[in-house]
Amino acid sequence: MRKFYNYIVNHPKLILMFFSIIFIICLISKPFISVNYDMNDYLPSTSSSTVALDVMEQEYDGGIPNARVMLENVSIPEALKYKNSIQSVEGVSDVTWLDDVVDITEPLETMDISTVETYYKDENALLSVTIDEDKRIQAVEDIREIIGDENSMMGSAVSTAVATSSTVNEIKKITVIAIILVLAILLLTTTSWAEPFIVLVGLGVAIIINAGSNLIFGEISFVTNAAGNILQLAVSLDYSVFLIHRFEECRKEEKNVKSAMVNALCMSTTSILSSGLTTVIGFLALCLMRFQIGPDLGLALAKGILISLITVFVFMPVLILYTYKFIDKFAHRSFMPSFKGFGKVVFRVMIPILCVFVILIVPCYLASNSNDFYYGSSHIFGTKTKLGTDIQKIDSIFGENDTYVLLVPKESTATQKDLSNELKNLTQVTSIISYVDTVGAEIPESYLDSETLSKLNSDNYTRMVISVETGYEGDETFELVENIRAIAEKYYEGNWYLAGEGVSTYDLMNTVTSDMTKVNLLAIAAVFLVLLLTTKSIALPIILVLAIETAIWINLSIPYFMNNAIFYIAYLIISSIQLGATVDYAILFSARYKEEREANSKKQAVIRTISSVMVSILTSGGVLTIIGFLLGNISTHGLLSQLGFFLGKGTLCSLTIVLFVLPALLYIFDGLIMKKHKKT
């Protein structure tokens, strides 16, 4: 490695030119990366609902209803006028209302009340709208302009459009505030006014290169777009700080700055690489998820940390050599205390806190696995947002509703009629629009005009649009999906397709829950293996992984004890992120303890270790905590907000355990950790 580092410090212009070219290319590429905000698009291609949507897209021009529009205090003629206006919006392929189910020229009193009230209740009309995926944002804006703010909209198309528009602005705001706060933290924890700016320049180069290189994926998820850059900033911040501090130490022993930098790089390589590798592995574990947001985020974050490592070992040495005189010129005394007193306090209280830690392990583990979950997108926007208010208003008048589409072969209208009748026996089914229900089983296709026929029958299938009185997710919804699938299988064994938001959420639930165990086990096993190889100890990896895993369990148990439902996707992702991002603190602490232990007693080693690593751990942990809470407080997207709060609270849990529990564990198991030591 020394030969490689010598080459770097002796060819600074070549290194700067290379990184400048890559930086410019990635900066230009960044705007061309598309972001997908629809969670259902990340279901496996083999899931039943995904296959159903693909078949429907091939057989019919329009998709399935993905939006609902409620018009308040309107007559039937007024509702029809609104319907026609919405139908004319570019991107709207279909609008379904009461007139598609019954003959509205007849008195409503003569019709089935449950069918009527599915679409028209107390002079409020509820329209089902199908919006093309690639035109959602503009179509939703145009529909909103037609109906005005006094009326309401909801549905996956609306959620996705709102998320796309709002999240972009929120992430810009979070990024600006994060940079300001990170700069403030670095100014407090470093000893030069110039050092924070140099660190941020290096981080900025790595982040832009990572963000721009996401173009290789073609498209990234909204989670990756929102959290990727700021997570890379928080997690890889300490690599650059550590290198600068090592360089300053080496300069005291070596007058030649290039030689001092090479020495600093050689001394830093093992610790920075082991820290970076555990983080990369924690993120790569997300790639095991069948739900594709996991691989999307995992690959982007792992790539980002690798790019940060390359930047630290290649670009930062050159940048530091060009700017070290400014670091010297603007040096100032440390604003941080020595923390020796804090180390003594920790030593006095660490055993009682360890006892609390041991007591918490089992209940927190059990509680973290007993949470109530949201799986889909129906609860993403809270009641403080316009969309959340609209959902609440629609549900209060019409109750929770959804629309499923069932495709079956069109050969036998008699079988279709039997199927329809059995589906209507389900208590949640309020109406069915199909060929046999709307036209009649005995009417030949040739009697219908092409426009009407194309909505009901394709060349191979007939479709049933099923209105159901249930939410987009929950036990009742999932049971209904299972019942409809069982009935369809009874009549058309292996030759039917069912789609709808509730159906996709059911498949999403099955997908993400099956991902949990394997993702966590692989992340733990991989991190354990890296620690085993780098520490050459069995006891130490067990201690470090147990410490951070317990911090994760405590973090994820908080919603259970507070009786709050959480998004399963956030729950699944944070486990790998918290492990990958905060195990570094435990590695740093244990490595310094072993170093101090070679020349000190166990007590002194604990106190001196805390004094030595406190600033580094607080800097990195403080940044990660702040970024988490920023995302949690600013984002109106429920999933991103919850992920941010999990990150902030989880980092605090990890910091607490590393600073108060890990010292006790190292102290007690010192004999297993230290093969040889000079003092007892």
Average pLDDT over every residue of 560-581: 87
With tokens 């209904």, the residue in question is 480
Residues 514-533, mean pLDDT to the nearest whole number: 81
Residue ranges of domains in the chain, CATH in brackets: 1-32+190-335 (1.20.1640.10), 339-370+537-680 (1.20.1640.10), 386-505 (3.30.70)
Is residue 579 scored above 90 in pLDDT?
no
Residue linked to tokens 């309020």: 430
DSSP sequence for 311-341: IIIIIHHHHHHHHHHHHHHTB----S---HH
CA angle 187, 192, 196 (to 5 degrees): 45
Phi-psi bin for 440: left (phi > 0), alpha (psi -120 to 50), beta? left
For residue 624, CA distances in Å to 12, 67, 620 come to 32, 37, 6
Percentage of residues in the chain with pLDDT exceeding 70? 98
The pLDDT of residue 427 is above 50: yes
> How far is Cα 587 from Cα 620, in angstroms, rounded to an integer?
13
Q: What's the whole-number average pLDDT of the chain?
A: 88
Predicted confidence at residue 677, as pLDDT, reads: 41
Q: What is the mean pLDDT of residues 558-582?
A: 87
Q: Which strand (E) or helix (H) includes residue 547?
A: helix 539-561
Give yes or no for a contact between 238 and 202, defined as CB atoms under 8 angstroms apart: no
> For residue 404, what are the contacts with CB-CB under 8 A and spacing of at least 6?
64, 465, 466, 468, 481, 484, 498, 499, 500, 502, 503
Distances from the Cα of 532 to the Cαs of 226, 526, 527, 529, 544, in angstroms? 34, 10, 8, 5, 11
Tens-digit pLDDT profile for residues 26-51: 999 998 998 888 877 888 888 898 89
CB of 90 within 8 A of CB of 104? no
Dump pLDDT digits (tens) for 106-146: 888 888 888 888 899 999 999 999 998 888 889 999 999 99
pLDDT class of 675 with cuts at 50, 70, 90: low
Q: What is the mean pLDDT of residues 519-531?
A: 83
**Buried/exposed code over 435-471 (b: 16+ C-beta within 10 A; e: otherwise):** bbbbbebeeeeeebeeeeeebbbbeebbbbbbbbbbb
Mean of pLDDT values over 313-336: 91
Average pLDDT of the residues in 644-655:
94
pTM over 0.75: yes
Mean pLDDT of 389-418: 90
